[in-house]
Chain A
């Protein structure tokens, strides 16, 4: 605030956050790490130990890891394929006066309850929803709920706004004179798109994919409602281990592994993608 900030003022301002972080973030994450090296007590819960047995046990939950690592990227890919044309339309084709309104309409659903939005699809895809309508036109035995397709629909529905927004931002910033130059020099619209528009919007695509992918890694509600116990993610395994089986040490090992996988994937991704393109700050708020 002044040219020479008083350090005690700064410390006073930071103290509440520091205390909060210590109690609710640092200590819990450390306890989680300690638990993951522990043993299961006979009555359920935790017995202090130092063993890698929990980590050695991870393959028993391979299906959850496999589902997450297949469906999270697949969902991200579907979302980007659907979001890109829409972002392009909003950023380049819509009347600029109306642009903000249309964009807001895309983002609004993202700030409503994830639980309710997923439930809506459970309602639509469930027995009395689409399958019942299809029966009217003579298609029997159409089942979609509790399949990977249902989970993918849910993923795209829930995360489309988050994917679209950064792509929109990068396309909107695009300098129109570059596109004019390209067409003046005789490039076809498709060539202009492939050689100018697409490469220049890649940072937005990369940001959107990363945001969606990070959130999908810890997803619980979408597979719980739309996968119905058949298509489950790591998040569902964690809920089972902590709240039903009460195998806390193994659950802790699964949680730690999830975070480690996430960190590895994200840092590899950053290295690969953001090396060529520039990072961009995205705020949806």
Chain B
């Protein structure tokens, strides 16, 4: 049994380890290890395309984390108070958003938004005063990527926060109400402190998922390139040590955020 367990851990970590190892390769070929060097990290970080893609990914992930924690928490708070048809509708929408393959959501959003923009852009053109020059045109890009990432992570956030609300001590809320606190005071002083670590953990999770997502962004990115899209396109062109370096950096970002979120989620239990 011990050997089997060791084998499973080896199976899980060896591939990641090999990528990390080869990102420190000084040679020019991705898979002949010639010596230890951090030059590929320098090359990756001085590549303007990588920096631009990293910027896009970070902006999308930060906005996604913020929007999904606010909207997801709001929805979770509301859903604990309602029953009946409205509750069923929202529950189903949340599970549909999580369950439908990302690729289908990406495609559906692509064709829906392409159509909407075809309608909206001429309208902007009409109402835009000529003295300001050409009318701005809306495009697929940051907005659409953030939009579908948030759809997905917001639903996950609601599921996480709701679980936390259910595990919360109701007697404190009842005590607060009995002592004539307004609903807002009760929320601010009792509920929020109890669910806050959960919200932070969900926000970090949303950031990680958005930062790592490839397939949804691939469809609705328009002209924008996120880091996973850049990596995908580079791998298609051929494996280089630079990709290993970018991959290692992406792994580090995910791992750091994951450990912070685990730590936050545990500290209150």
A and B: bona fide binding partners: yes
Which positions in A face B, CB cutoff 8 Å? 1-3, 5-6, 9-11, 13-14, 16-18, 20-21, 23-32, 35, 46, 82, 85-86, 89-90, 93, 102, 104-106, 108-109, 111-117, 119-124, 126, 128-129, 132, 157, 160-161, 214-215, 217-218, 220-221, 225, 235, 238-239, 242-243, 248, 251-252, 255, 258-259, 262, 283, 285
- Given A2-B186, A128-B32 in contact, is the A258-B5 Cβ separation under 8 Å? no
Among the 9-residue stretches B46-54, B131-139, B147-155, the one with 4 or more Cβ atoms under 8 Å from chain A is B147-155
**Which of B70, B72, B183 touches A9 (beta carbons < 8 Å)?**
B183
In the complex, how many angstroms separate the beta carbon of A119 from the nearest chain B beta carbon?
Answer: 6
Contacting residues of chain B (182-216) with chain A, CB-CB under 8 angstroms = 183, 186-187, 191, 201-202, 205, 208, 212, 214-215
18 contacts between A and B (CB under 8 A): A13-B78, A32-B108, A85-B1, A89-B1, A89-B4, A111-B205, A112-B250, A112-B258, A113-B250, A113-B251, A114-B214, A116-B247, A161-B12, A225-B235, A239-B218, A255-B103, A255-B104, A255-B107
CA distance A124 to B239 in the complex (A): 11
The answer to whether B71 and A17 have CB atoms under 8 Å apart is yes
Give A111 to B74 CA distance when docked, in angstroms.
Answer: 25
Residues of A within 8 A of B24 (CB): none
**B93 interface contact, C-beta 8 A:** yes
Pair B78/A86 contact, Cβ less than 8 Å: no
Q: Which B residues are CB-close (under 8 A) to A23? A: 147
The answer to whether B231 and A116 have CB atoms under 8 Å apart is yes
Q: Does B141 contact A (CB under 8 A)?
A: no
CB-based contact A17/B72 at 8 Å: yes
Partner of A235, one of B103, B151, B159: B103
Q: Which residues of A contact B96 (CB under 8 A)?
A: 25
A31→B108 contact, CB < 8 A: yes
- Structural contact, B13 and A109, CB atoms closer than 8 A: yes
Pairwise interchain contact A123-B111, C-beta atoms closer than 8 A: no
Bound complex: CA A89 to CA B173 (Å): 42
B151:A124 contact, CB within 8 angstroms: no
Query: Residue A116 contacts which of B31, B81, B251 (CB distance < 8 angstroms)?
Result: B251
Across-interface contacts of A93 in B (CB, < 8 A): 1
Contact A28 B109 (CB under 8 A): yes
State how many angstroms separate the Cβ of B28 from the closest Cβ of chain A: 13
Chain A neighbourhood of B154, CB < 8 A = 17, 20
Residues of A close to B71: CB separation below 8 A: 16-17, 20
Give the chain B neighbours of A5 by CB distance below 8 A: 81-82, 183
Picked from A13, A18, A106, A157, the residue with its CB within 8 Å of the CB of B15 is: A157
In the bound complex, residues from chain B placing their C-beta under 8 Å from that of A102 are 5
Residue of A nearest to B190 (CB): A1
Assembled-state Cα–Cα distance A203/B183 (Å): 40
B interface residues with partner A (beta carbon < 8 Å):
1, 4-5, 8-9, 11-13, 15-16, 18-19, 22, 29-32, 70-72, 74-75, 77-79, 81-82, 86, 90, 93, 96-97, 99-105, 107-113, 115, 147-148, 150-151, 154, 156, 158-160, 163, 173, 177, 183, 186-187, 191, 201-202, 205, 208, 212, 214-215, 218-219, 228, 231-232, 235, 239, 243-244, 247, 250-251, 254-255, 258, 262, 265
Report which of A1, A111, A161 forms a contact with B254, defined as CB distance below 8 A: A111
CA distance A149 to B186 in the complex (A): 57
Query: B15 and A121: CB pair below 8 A?
Result: yes
Residue pair B16, A283 in contact (C-beta under 8 Å): no
Q: How far is the CB of A11 from chain B (nearest CB, A)?
A: 8
Contact A126:B212 (CB < 8 A) given known A9-B183, A93-B1: no
Q: How far is the CA of A213 from the CA of B27 in the complex (A)?
A: 40
Q: Which of A29, A105, A126, A225 contacts B9 (CB 8 A)?
A: A105
Give B173 Cβ to nearest chain A Cβ, in Å. 7
- Among B107, B115, B239, residue most surrounded by chain A Cβ atoms (within 10 Å): B107
The docked-state distance in angstroms from the alpha carbon of A175 to that of B7 is 28
In contact, A285 and B102 (Cβ under 8 angstroms) = no
Checking B12, B112, B147, B177 against A106 with a beta-carbon cut-off of 8 angstroms, the contacting residue is: B12
Known: A24-B151, A116-B247, A157-B15. 15 other contacts (CB 8 A): A1-B186, A9-B78, A17-B71, A17-B154, A25-B105, A28-B108, A112-B16, A112-B212, A112-B254, A113-B247, A115-B212, A116-B16, A116-B231, A119-B235, A128-B32
Question: Once the chains are docked, how many angstroms separate the CA of A17 from the CA of B87?
Answer: 13
Q: Are B8 and A86 closer than 8 Å at their CB atoms?
A: yes
CB distance from A258 to the nearest CB of B (A): 6
Contact A220 B215 (CB under 8 A): yes
**A113 and B5: CB pair below 8 A?**
no
What are the 7 A-B residue pairs with the smallest beta carbon separation, nearest first? A218-B101, A28-B108, A13-B78, A120-B15, A128-B31, A28-B112, A32-B108
Distance A140 CA – B78 CA, assembled complex (angstroms): 64
